[in-house]
Structure 1
């Protein structure tokens, strides 16, 4: 059964290449001095540059989006794939132009000129020559092109590579300014682009001008959650909703663990349990001033709790040893019953793999709770997208308009006729309908499933797992229940160029290594405090001061 590659699955693939730090909200560290464009934006400038949002109603979801006062908008849910996909674009968007596009690809490169490419170009009315590049070395390849000023007509620049590409400066010199074509109500000429969440567009704004087109955007982008084996819990008469504090979770861990039977309650949960303790994404505001998360009392509290967890005997020995490659197998086999993971872990492929190990398998996620059991839960919103494509500044206004019309086609709603072609190809050649689900043929697996066009533009993410209705209902229910507690983290969706001299302090790798040793029970919490002290002396304090002076004081903390 096929599953289109969505933002969550793309991120899970990319994170293995770029590292977990790359999934943090967009705080790009690039540039090398005053000659480099800052990339920072004013609130007024961003508001003027981004397109006006207009929801697309051409495809009706089974589980509609829910909007909250805090700005969170849940991704819609679909239980079935539309039997008769509707067309959202009239005629062919292109006018015969020819363009080259370079996108990252984690997988086998499709054969050039294959039937899928031919079919898409015929529908577009233009020649879009795709050049997928190895995602593992993509940053190096693009850096070479930018240095030589030989960028293709259209290129995908993932946001976590902004430092490598120096995107802030690149925008001002080699990328097309899309503000005159898309800002405000001008986007009405491209209704599918208008339906992309506003937050995602902000990720492509540099120096108060819109340059980027988002892909795989979400209205509720959470880093991940703390999962549990719902089928096992139910068999034991345990309800996850009974866990309303960190103390409850610790006690549950002891109850579930039986080392003699080869069962431990926990795998690693540090990364995705942090919201329970109120840990900020990177910065927080203390007495009106910017402060780093390492200075949060909650950070120490969380580390101390995890250190105790590691020493409690409730964590699988391989997890404590950092052997994460087998984490999924441990979870499927029931050797661990609670794990932390990204949102991309909750999908059809996981459900199928779990059921292959245990027919009763059902993944669940703990309802959001506050560690003290008293405070109102909270969770920060992640960046609205990590994938932004750009057009070459050398294109003429007519060519830019043609590419935007093509982008509008590519961004058609999930389940539409355009979406079906771009994501599954031609029926009978690239896919067939099996049980109401588009399923790749051998040809489609080679040419379509690797994905290329969606890295140029896509609609808002949806939650859909055809054939696994309960999974989709579980996920959308958790997402909606969680979204009401969401808040925008400091510098949410802001593009910030940090001078290269601060890059080491910005990464803080030595501190993160110590954090890992603490939550694995190898080092005491005092080792973390010592590491932070050293980090501050070696640039950490100066880094925070730079953000305070050059970003917060000038531009605020939210755009």
Structure 2
């Protein structure tokens, strides 16, 4: 899908990286590959200079801690301005590798590929690979030193690549090219916020170009069926879990096949941590009286497990969700069988209206404003500004690096620009036509155009109309403007901490226990037993590892 935004592709993911060496006692040695302290991070980050080339229909709203909303557009500008002047490439030819979740387009005779290559004045040999198995393809390339010139590497696969150690040997250090004001010679890259770049910094140096970044960096929320709420006379103005529980009682009608809730927990408590505020899997540590405490050890997650199990016992959760059938969760919401669910922001793009409207012509998704369990002032964790990064092969010359940065600047042209249309839709009249003020792929374009160039460089996400759903854009922009008022930076934010690989299996038993307890299959004592075992089998050693990180590098606060 050519107009894919970051929020339509990814949810927030953990800061995952390679394994530093351990001594016999399990404590890290002096070198912690990947980790960057705040002083070095600030020196490596590019300066931020918002783009002024395109004016959105709904402007960016500022939040706190660097969070802002994404720009929003109701139609594509009638006369798209150019954001790049002069020649881009200098005739070079480069190999690439990117993931692709979808059909692989033809490489030869592809008008879309040819159009973009002509526009950039160079040849990027696009080699998209199946996104599902993409991570499996990378280790052999690293081991054999057969990496392409330009490659996309998702954050979630770096742990399998000893990336914190390998990055300096395999890829170009972009710090001399982009740090501070140096990035301003590439205006479209300078328009990416500092939050977008942080996870591309390793060992105090900048290596990665952020892909599908977002200024808002709020990746998920609780949704409700507004059309059915209105029909039932239910209020969406909820301030606490007591209010949410009242909705459970009001809206559940099992005899009619309707339940108030789907699974509100999410895998590894991915969503309910917003309500009970015990931190995400990406940043699980809190400082309590000078001691690092993991999210699994908090009383808050105990309260969350007890509450969700209570909702299951009360009969407010859809039976398929109780059976842990997650595959049909979206369909249950679309069909009106469950009226409240948790999902990523990518679910709120208007495209689901096509699925929901078949059975419910008045289908309307909406999201609750942020609230917490106790009804106090809520807050939400600032997520990573990007979860994928693109890297240049270290074998490239200085001239080639500069050429690729010029090309990256073109590919990062903002939504609404002339360049964005070319990068995302190709040749007008062949690959796409304009309809109702927005680009629409032709039959040929639907076969040739795929998300490929965008995985090498792209602008920050924008909220745009899909499937003709203009109101969805307005609603989402208003929701974002409220959410960014409540973000906070968690401990170790943006430091690319490299966890030892031996801790990689610690989470699986905990996730399994969460599932059993939240669904009422096991008592809460099973959770406390699991936490005790977690501490004994590596949790306490993991804490020591992070204490060592804190003593050497700080916590990023």
Given the two structures, how large is their TM-score scaled by the length of structure 1? Answer: 0.94
Contact 2:188 2:459 in 1 (8 A): yes
Aligned equivalents of 2:125, 2:221: Cα separation in 1:
39
Q: Does the 8 A contact of 2:64 with 2:488 survive in 1?
A: no
Alignment deviations for residues 243-290 of structure 1 (CA, whole Å, 9 cap, x no partner): 111011111101100110111111111132321111212111111221
Which residue of 2 is the match for residue 224 of structure 1?
220
| Structure 2 counterparts to residues 195-234 of structure 1, below 5 A | 195-234=191-230
SS at match of 1:161: helix
3-state SS, counterpart of residue 136 of structure 2: helix
Corresponding residue of 2:460: 460
String of CA shifts for 1:405-451, please: whole Å, max 9, x gaps: 00000000112111111111111111111211211112211211x21
Per the alignment, in what secondary structure is the counterpart of residue 534 of structure 1?
Answer: helix
1:91: which partner in 2?
86
Corresponding residue of 2:25: none
The Cα of 1:503 is off from its aligned counterpart by 2.1
The equivalent of 1:337 in structure 2 is 339
Partner in structure 1 of residue 531 of structure 2: 532
**8 Å contact kept, 1:139–1:165:** no
Count matched residues.
542
Equivalent position SS for 2:329: helix
2:117 alignment counterpart: 121
**Cα deviations across residues 162-193 of structure 1 (Å, max 9, x unaligned)?**
10122211211010011111010111110000
1:188-199 mapped onto 2 (5 Å cutoff): 188-199=184-195
**3-state SS in 1 of match to 2:209:** strand
Partner of 2:328: 326
C-alpha offsets along residues 208-241 of structure 1, whole Å, 9 cap, x if unaligned?
1110001100112123111100111112222211
For the Cα contact (< 8 Å) 2:17–2:164, is it kept in 1? no
Q: Does 1:143 align with 2:132?
A: no
Q: Give matches, 1:494-533, under 5 Å.
A: 494-505=495-506, 508-533=507-532
Q: 2:56 aligns with which of 20, 41, 61?
A: 61
**SS of aligned partner of 1:244:** coil
- Is 1:485 aligned to residue 486 of structure 2? yes
Write out aligned runs for 1:134-533 (5 A).
Answer: 134-241=130-237, 243-271=238-266, 272-281=271-280, 282-373=284-375, 375-448=376-449, 450-466=450-466, 467-505=468-506, 508-533=507-532
Asked if the contact 1:32/1:500 (under 8 Å) is kept, the reply is no
Distance 1:274 1:497 in 2: 23
CA distance in 1, matches of 2:500, 2:391: 23
Q: Distance in 2 between matches of 1:391 and 1:348?
A: 36
The offset of 1:29, in angstroms, is: 4.7
Distance 1:179 1:125 in 2: 25
Q: C-alpha displacement at 1:35, in angstroms?
A: 10
Alignment partner, residue 52 of structure 1: 47
Decide whether the 8 Å contact of 1:200 with 1:493 is kept in 2.
no
Structure 1 equivalent of residue 550 of structure 2? 552
- 1:36 is displaced (CA, Å) by 7.5
Shift of 1:351: 2.3
Distance 1:128 1:3 in 2: 18
| Residue among 22, 28, 51 paired with 2:17 | 28
Match of 2:3? 4
Runs of 4+ more than 4 Å apart: 31-37
Deviations 1:12-43, CA, capped at 9 Å, x for gaps: 6xxxxxxxxxx434243545556986111121
Q: Contact (CA 8 Å) 2:17, 2:34: kept in 1 or not?
A: no
Distance 1:461 1:303 in 2: 34
Deviations 1:351-375 (A, max 9, x none): 22222331111101111112112x2
Distance apart, 1:3 and its partner CA: 6.2
Distance 2:398 2:115 in 1: 26
Displacement of 1:79: 1.2
Q: For residue 102 of structure 2, what is the aligned residue in structure 1? A: 107
Corresponding residue for 2:36?
A: 41
Hey, what's the Cα distance between the residues in 1 that align with 2:483 and 2:134? 35
30 and 132 in structure 1: CA distance in 2 versus 1, 3 angstrom threshold? farther
Aligned 8 A contact 2:35 2:496 in 1: yes
SS in structure 1 at match of 2:10: helix
Change (3 A) 1:3 1:171: closer
Distance in 2 (alpha carbons) for counterparts of 1:512 and 1:338: 23
- Distance in 2 between the 1:172 and 1:317 partners? 51
Instruction: Return the alpha-carbon distance in structure 2 between the equivalents of residues 24 and 115 of structure 1.
Output: 35
Instruction: Give the match's secondary structure for 1:348.
Output: coil
Is the CA contact 2:234–2:247 (under 8 Å) kept in the aligned structure 1? Answer: no
In structure 2, what is the Cα distance between the partners aligned to 1:35 and 1:83? 57
Unaligned runs of 5+ in 2: 23-28
Unpaired segments ≥5 residues, structure 1: 13-22
Give the direction of change, closer, same or farther, for the CA distance of 1:76–1:287 in structure 2 (3 Å limit).
same
